[in-house]
Amino acid sequence: MITETYRIAGIPVTITTKHMYLHDRCRAYLTEDAPAVEVVVVPGDIEYEREAARREAEAEGIPCPSYGEEIYEFTAAYRKIAEAYAGMGRFLMHGSVVAVDGEAFLFTAKSGTGKSTHTRLWRERFGERAVMVNDDKPLLRVPGADRQEDRQRTSTAGRIPDGAGAVMVCGTPWDGKHHLSTNVEVPLSAICLLERGQENRIRRVSLGEALPLLMQQTYRPRGKKALEQVMAMAMQVYSQVPLYRLHCNMDPEAAEVAYEAMRTRRQDD
């Protein structure tokens, strides 16, 4: 078995696995700090991930992927981290996050909509000003958590509308098939629901309109207490961070339209 400690979303976590794959992917997050969380992936966890993949493929009407054991081990470790982090002010959301000038914008949608393609347009448009935070499964770090370090971190960060502190988006090694992520934490300025369209247009939306998709894209822990903690954090974030719906094509203009609208609205708020 292989054991290493990583700092992920500000929390040192020791992960033990059979295969080296996870540790190769997590190398940029290595730390010598004492762990606050310990994760050990066992054969039952791998079988759970294999069955979960089968069910998801069946629901979507697509062939079940044939991954190696090391991939299921990788996803099993993240599931355990997400479960543990629920009580530590962090939760997992499916989306692609790009930051421009130190402010993050999270794009979420059903699989296959084009989140990664859209954030690639941002990187092409803004060049060195843009940083890819995470292209698949970022962690959101929520103000008001019990940990003293959270209160210290958010006290000098940017503010969300109610003044409670900034929601931070954290890079993680679980970053999609293109492996696009950076080991950073960036204040979240907006969440955008992405849809394909012939024209590029964006509008502010209400929580009620956005909530069904947001809940679909939020990881919901299996344990009752952890689930309650994640739902409370998610509602806090989705109620406070500006929400948008973007209809876009794959033209470079799409990035400019989205950025200008969300940047302008954020400044107005």
Calculate the CA 80 to chain-centre distance.
15
Same-domain check for residues 48 and 134: no
Tell me: the pLDDT tens digits for 88-97? 999 999 999 9
161: which residues sit within 8 A by CB, 6+ positions away?
A: 240, 269
Q: Rounded to the nearest 5 degrees, what angle is found at the Cα of 177, between the Cα atoms of 173 and 180?
A: 50
Residue that terminates a domain, selected from 32, 62, 87? 87
Q: How many domains does the chain have?
A: 2
Decide the pairing of beta strands 185-196 and 103-108.
parallel
264 pLDDT tier (thresholds 50, 70, 90): low
Residue that terminates a domain, selected from 41, 60, 87? 87
Same-domain check for residues 56 and 128: no
Residue that terminates a domain, selected from 31, 55, 87? 87
Same-domain check for residues 63 and 118: no
Residues 51, 33: contact at Cβ < 8 Å?
no
Q: What is the pTM for the complete model shown?
A: 0.88
Same-domain check for residues 26 and 99: no
The pLDDT > 70 percentage for the chain reads 90
> What is d(CA 156, CA 30) in angstroms, rounded to the nearest whole number?
26
108 phi, psi to nearest 5 deg: -130, 150
> What is d(CA 214, CA 205) in angstroms, rounded to the nearest whole number?
12
Same-domain check for residues 133 and 226: yes
**Residue 107: which domain range?**
90-268
Decide the pairing of beta strands 103-108 and 130-134.
unpaired
Instruction: Give the CA count within 13 Å in the CB-facing half-sphere of 81.
Output: 28
30 phi, psi to nearest 5 deg: -60, 145
pLDDT of 33 strictly over 50: yes
Same-domain check for residues 135 and 214: yes
Tell me: the pLDDT tens digits for 243-254? 999 999 888 999
Same-domain check for residues 109 and 82: no
pLDDT of 158 strictly over 80: no
Same-domain check for residues 52 and 99: no
Tell me: the pLDDT tens digits for 197-212? 889 999 999 999 999 9
pLDDT of 127 strictly over 60: yes
Same-domain check for residues 172 and 45: no
Place of tokens 């991939």: 71
Same-domain check for residues 122 and 70: no
3-state secondary structure 73-134: HHHHHHHHHHHHHHHHCEEEECCEEEEECCEEEEEECCCCCCHHHHHHHHHHHHHHHEEEEE
Same-domain check for residues 36 and 121: no
**pLDDT, mean of residues 233-248:** 95
How many other C-beta atoms can be found within 10 angstroms of the C-beta atom of residue 68? Answer: 10
Give the CATH number for residue 250. Answer: 3.90.228.20
57 pLDDT tier (thresholds 50, 70, 90): confident
Helices (H), the chain: 21-25, 43-60, 69-85, 115-126, 148-155, 207-216, 224-240, 253-268
pLDDT at 16: 98
